[in-house]
Chain A
Amino acid sequence: MIVSSPSDSPARPASDQDAAARTAEIDASCRVPVLVLFLAAVVWLTAGSLLGVMTAIKAHAPGFLADSAWLTYGRLRPAATNALLYGFALPAGLGLALWMFCRLGQTRLRGAAMITGAAGFWNLGLILGTAGILAGGSTGYEWLELPGMASPILFSGYVLAAAWAVVTLHLRQERDLFVSQWLALAALLWFPWVYSTAQLLLIFFPVRGVMQVVVNGWFAHNFYELCLAPLGLAAIFYFVPKLLLRPLHSHGLALFGFWMLVLFGGWGGLRPGLPVPNWLGSVSFVARVFVLVALIAFALSWFRTWAGARAGRTSPDILRFLVVGAGSYLVAAVLETIATHPLVSQVTLFTLFEHAIGQLKIHGFLAMVLAGAIYYIAPRLVGVDWPGQGLIRWHFICAAGGTGLIVLASLIGGLLQGARINQPEIEFIRVARGTVPFLGMSTLGATLQAAGYVALLINFSRLLIACCPCAALAQRFRAMRLPIQERSHA
C-alpha cells in the first residue's frame, strides 16, 4: 500500500520500506478506537434505519403496531433520527477524523485507550437516551430529543474523545494542514459549542416562548452545516484525490470555500413563516446564498480534480459512494436555499419537502460518504480485505436507490401537500390522504436503505471476525482446547 498524503507536497520518508513501516505503526495506533467507533456507528446505522422503516410504515398505515406506547409514531421517529445523527454520523465522522489526523499528520494516535472508553461512554448515553425517547422522555426539540439525563453522558464522552483528536492534530509531524484537517477540526470544535449552548438554553435553563424555536433551529442548522457536513466534506476532500491518484486541484479554492462556509454556515436555519421576527428568516436566506458561493468553490475544486482522471482511478466501488454523497450535499444545499426563500417557504414549509431535504442530508450525503470512508479505512486497520465485495455493491445500489426514491417521493409529495394546504377549499382530510401514496413510496425507499445498511453490517462483522486479534484469539483458543481434549481422552 502506498502512503500518499493527498497534499501537494507530502513529506516523503527516506524509502518506501520506511514509509510502509510508518504507516503500519500509525494504523496500529488507530486500530482499536477507530474500529470500535466504526462498529458502533454501523450498528446504530442499521438500528436507526430499521426504526426508520417502522416509522415509514406507520406514517401511512396507522394501525401497524398501534397498541404499544413505546412504538407509537411520535416516539419511533425521533428515536430513528437520533440513532442516525448521534449513533452513526457523529461517531463515524469522529473515527474518520482520528484516522485522518494520524495519516495526514504522520503521527500515531494519542490517548487510544481513553478514546475507546469515551466511545463506550457515548454509546451508553445513547442507549439510555434512545430508551428514554421510546419511554416518552423526548425533549420535544427536533434533533435534540435525547432526554436531559443522556446529554451530559454524551457530552462528556464526546469531549474525552475529541480532546485526544485535537492533541493528536497538535502533535503532528507533517506541519502543513490539509483542507480535510481544517474541516474536521472545525467540526470537532463546533459540536461541543453548539450542543452545550442548545442544551443549556433549551433543557437546563430554558428560554422563553419562541426563543426556543430560534435556539432549536440554530442548533439543528449548525449541527448539520458546521459539524456533520464538514466531516463528510473532509472525507470527500481526502479520498477523492487519493482514489484518483491526483493532487487536489486548488488549495486556494478550497480555503476560500472553507472560510465562506465557516463564516456564513452558522447563520441560518430559520425559515420565513415561523413565528419569529422576519429578519431572522431574511438573514437565514442571505447567509444561505453566501454558503452557495462556498459550495461552488468546493464543487469546482472536486470537479477539476476529477476531470481527466478517469484512467488512473482505483477502488471504483468506494468512489461511487463519495460521488453520490458529494452530489447529494450540493443538491440538499441548493434545495435548502430555495426553501428558505419566503415565496417558496409559503408552500414548502411544514410539508414533506423539508423531509426530503433531511433525507438527502442524512442518507444521501452523510451515510454515503461516511460509509465510503469506512470501506476505505476499516480493511487497512484490520489488515484484511472486505470479505464480501458483492455486499459493497449491494449496499450502494440499495442505499442510493432507496434514498433517491424517498427524496423524489417527498419532494413531489411535499409540493403537492403544500399547494393543497394553500387551497382552503380543499378539505384537510383530502390533503392528508393525498400524502399517502408518497409516504408509501418512502416506505419502499426506507426498506431498501435498511437492506443496504444490513449488508454493510454483515460485511463489517465478517471483516472483524477475520481480523487479526479475533483470528489469533480463536487460534489460541483452539490450541488451548486441543491439549485439554487430548488430556481428557487420555
Chain B
Amino acid sequence: MRHGPLLFLGLLGAMALSWLGMIATPQFQLGNVQPTNVPPANVLYPAPDPGLANVGREIYRANGCAYCHTEVVRQQGALVSVVISNPGTNAPATIEALRKIRGDLTAPEAERLLAATPATALTTADKSAADRAAEAMSASGAEASVRVVPTGPEIERGWGTRLSVARDYIYHAPFLLGSIRLGPDLTNVGLRQPDAIWHLVHLYDPKLKVERSIMPRYPFLFEQRPRGAQPASDALPIPGTQDVIPKPEAYALVAYLLSRRADMPLFEAPAPMVMSSGAEGGSTNAQAAATNATSAPGTNSSTETAPR
C-alpha cells in the first residue's frame, strides 16, 4: 500500500464514525435531560446542590475520593407488590379477598395485616397477577395499588432504593463516578448516615468509627491544637489530649456527603417512596430529604458540630 492520503482519509472517517456513534448520539439522547416534577410530593428533582456541598465536591475531587468510592447503584430486576393503603369499611370482604390472593394467610393473620396499613399484601414477579390482586382488593372496598420494588444485591445492601439513572446526575459537575469499590457506594450516604459529626470524626480517623476500616485518615482537613482547661466549642468529640477542629474544607466535604441522596422515584426508575421508614415516614420523606439537603449541612454544621 502506497497511498498515504487514502490511509489518512480512512482514519479520519473511522474516527468521525466513532465520534458520531459514541459521543454525538448519546448527546442527542441525554445531553439535555431536565429536572422533572415527581408526582406524589410534587417536588422538582433533582435540585441543584447547595453551595457548601458544591465546595465539598471540589474537595472530594481534589483528594480523589472517587478512586475508592462510586456514586452509582445498579439494579438487577424488579418485583411488583400490592400495597393496601386503606382497608376500607367492609372488613369480612377484604379479609376474604386478601386470603384469596394469599392462600397462606389465616383469617386472624389477614386481619392483623389489614390493621397495619399501609401494608404490603403481596410481592411477586408476575405483573398481571399483581394487577388482578389489586383489582380484587379494590372490589372488596379496600384501597390497593401496585408498586414496583427494585431488586438486586446493591439495593438489598441498602445502597439505594433503585438504580441510578441519567437524571440523577444533572448537576454533577464534575461527575465523579468512581472506578473501584474499595469503599462503599456513596449514592445515598446522606440518607444512610445523616450525622455530620459522625462524618467529621470518620474523616479525621476512620478507625474511630469503623474499627477495621482501610480508609486513610485525612488529618490535613483538620486543625489540631493543644487542649485547654476544657475542649474548644467546635472541637470534635474524640478522646485524646488535643482539640481537633475541622477546617472549612472538612465542613464542605461533609456537606457534600450529606447531600448525597438519590432515592426519588422517577418515571424511568420507579421505587418505593420510603427508604428509611423510621426517619420522617410517608410520602413527605422525599420532600423532607430535598429540603434537608439544602439547609442542614450548610447552615448548621458550623454551629451544631460542637460536641457539648
**Interface of A with B (CB < 8 Å)?**
58-60, 62-63, 66-69, 72-75, 77-78, 136-142, 169-170, 175-177, 182, 185-186, 189-190, 193-194, 197, 201-202, 206-216, 218, 222, 255, 259, 262-263, 266-270, 273-277, 280, 283, 346, 349-352, 354-355, 417, 421-424, 428-429, 431-433, 435-436
B181 at the binding interface (Cβ < 8 Å) = yes
A438 vs chain B, min Cβ distance (A): 11
Interface string of B166-180 (1 = CB under 8 A from A): 111111111111111
Give the residue of B22, B165, B176 whose beta carbon is less than 8 angstroms from that of A214: B22
A266 and B72 alpha carbons, distance in the complex (Å): 25
Contact between A73 and B26, CB atoms less than 8 A apart: no
In the complex with contacts A207-B27, A214-B23, A177-B2 CB distance below 8 A: yes
Q: For B168, what are the chain A residues with a Cβ–Cβ distance below 8 Å?
A: 275
B44 vs chain A, min Cβ distance (A): 16
Give the residue of B11, B157, B171 whose beta carbon is less than 8 angstroms from that of A190: B11
Interface string of B19-58 (1 = CB under 8 A from A): 1011100110111110000000000000000000000000
A177 and B27 alpha carbons, distance in the complex (Å): 38
B34 vs chain A, min Cβ distance (A): 10
Contact between A176 and B2, CB atoms less than 8 A apart: yes
A433 and B30 alpha carbons, distance in the complex (Å): 38
In the complex with contacts A77-B67, A182-B1, A214-B22, A350-B180 CB distance below 8 A: yes
A270 and B165 alpha carbons, distance in the complex (Å): 15
Q: For B15, what are the chain A residues with a Cβ–Cβ distance below 8 Å?
A: 189-190, 193-194, 266
Contact between A277 and B63, CB atoms less than 8 A apart: no
Contact between B33 and A136, CB atoms less than 8 A apart: no
B182 vs chain A, min Cβ distance (A): 6
Which residue of A is nearest B213, CB measured? A429
Which residue of B is nearest A414, CB measured? B180
A368 vs chain B, min Cβ distance (A): 24
Contact between B163 and A275, CB atoms less than 8 A apart: yes
Contact between A210 and B181, CB atoms less than 8 A apart: no
Interface string of B137-161 (1 = CB under 8 A from A): 0000000000000000110110000
A182 and B14 alpha carbons, distance in the complex (Å): 14
The 3 closest A-B pairs by CB, nearest first: A74-B64, A266-B18, A136-B62
Contact between B10 and A277, CB atoms less than 8 A apart: no
Contact between A170 and B4, CB atoms less than 8 A apart: yes
Contact between B214 and A423, CB atoms less than 8 A apart: no
Give the residue of A140, A182, A212 whose beta carbon is less than 8 angstroms from that of B7: A182
Q: For A63, what are the chain B residues with a Cβ–Cβ distance below 8 Å?
A: 216-217
Contact between B10 and A78, CB atoms less than 8 A apart: no
Q: For B183, what are the chain A residues with a Cβ–Cβ distance below 8 Å?
A: 432
Give the residue of B23, B68, B70, B169 whose beta carbon is less than 8 angstroms from that of A74: B68
Q: A62-B206, A73-B64, A78-B67 are in contact. List 10 more A-B contacts (CB 8 A).
A: A58-B216, A59-B182, A62-B214, A74-B67, A136-B63, A137-B62, A138-B61, A185-B7, A207-B27, A267-B18
In the complex with contacts A74-B67, A175-B2, A189-B8, A206-B169 CB distance below 8 A: no
A143 vs chain B, min Cβ distance (A): 10
Q: For A77, what are the chain B residues with a Cβ–Cβ distance below 8 Å?
A: 64, 67
Q: For A267, what are the chain B residues with a Cβ–Cβ distance below 8 Å?
A: 18, 21-22
Contact between B11 and A209, CB atoms less than 8 A apart: no
Interface centre among B4, B153, B206, B216 (most CB of A within 10 A): B216
A287 and B172 alpha carbons, distance in the complex (Å): 29
B219 at the binding interface (Cβ < 8 Å) = yes
B306 at the binding interface (Cβ < 8 Å) = no
Contact between A78 and B212, CB atoms less than 8 A apart: no
A141 and B10 alpha carbons, distance in the complex (Å): 30
Contact between A177 and B4, CB atoms less than 8 A apart: yes
Which B199-231 residues have C-beta < 8 A from chain A? 206, 210, 212-220
A58 and B214 alpha carbons, distance in the complex (Å): 9
Contact between A211 and B30, CB atoms less than 8 A apart: yes
A212 and B33 alpha carbons, distance in the complex (Å): 13
B17 at the binding interface (Cβ < 8 Å) = yes
Which residue of B is nearest A284, CB measured? B22
Give the residue of B30, B33, B72 whose beta carbon is less than 8 angstroms from that of A274: B72
Q: For B1, what are the chain A residues with a Cβ–Cβ distance below 8 Å?
A: 176-177, 182, 255
Contact between A140 and B184, CB atoms less than 8 A apart: no
B47 vs chain A, min Cβ distance (A): 14
B292 at the binding interface (Cβ < 8 Å) = no
In the complex with contacts A75-B64, A137-B62, A210-B169, A266-B179 CB distance below 8 A: no
B65 at the binding interface (Cβ < 8 Å) = yes
A140 and B177 alpha carbons, distance in the complex (Å): 9
Q: For B123, what are the chain A residues with a Cβ–Cβ distance below 8 Å?
A: none
Q: For B213, what are the chain A residues with a Cβ–Cβ distance below 8 Å?
A: 62, 429, 432
Q: For A255, what are the chain B residues with a Cβ–Cβ distance below 8 Å?
A: 1
A263 and B15 alpha carbons, distance in the complex (Å): 8
A41 and B183 alpha carbons, distance in the complex (Å): 34
Contact between A428 and B175, CB atoms less than 8 A apart: no
B25 vs chain A, min Cβ distance (A): 9
B74 at the binding interface (Cβ < 8 Å) = yes
A68 and B5 alpha carbons, distance in the complex (Å): 53
Contact between A185 and B26, CB atoms less than 8 A apart: no
- In the assembled complex, 20 residue pairs joining A and B whose CB atoms fall closer than 8 Å, in A order, are A67-B217, A74-B64, A136-B62, A139-B61, A169-B4, A177-B4, A189-B15, A207-B27, A209-B169, A209-B175, A210-B166, A212-B175, A215-B23, A262-B10, A276-B30, A283-B21, A352-B180, A423-B153, A432-B184, A432-B214
Q: For B72, what are the chain A residues with a Cβ–Cβ distance below 8 Å?
A: 274-275
Give the residue of B10, B23, B63, B170 whose beta carbon is less than 8 angstroms from that of A75: B63
B105 vs chain A, min Cβ distance (A): 27
Give the residue of A67, A138, A193, A262 whose beta carbon is less than 8 angstroms from that of B220: A67
A276 and B62 alpha carbons, distance in the complex (Å): 25
Q: For A193, what are the chain B residues with a Cβ–Cβ distance below 8 Å?
A: 15, 19
In the complex with contacts A74-B63, A138-B62, A267-B22, A206-B212 CB distance below 8 A: no
Give the residue of B14, B30, B156, B218 whose beta carbon is less than 8 angstroms from that of A209: B30
A60 and B215 alpha carbons, distance in the complex (Å): 9
Which residue of B is nearest A422, CB measured? B153
Contact between A66 and B184, CB atoms less than 8 A apart: no
B242 at the binding interface (Cβ < 8 Å) = no
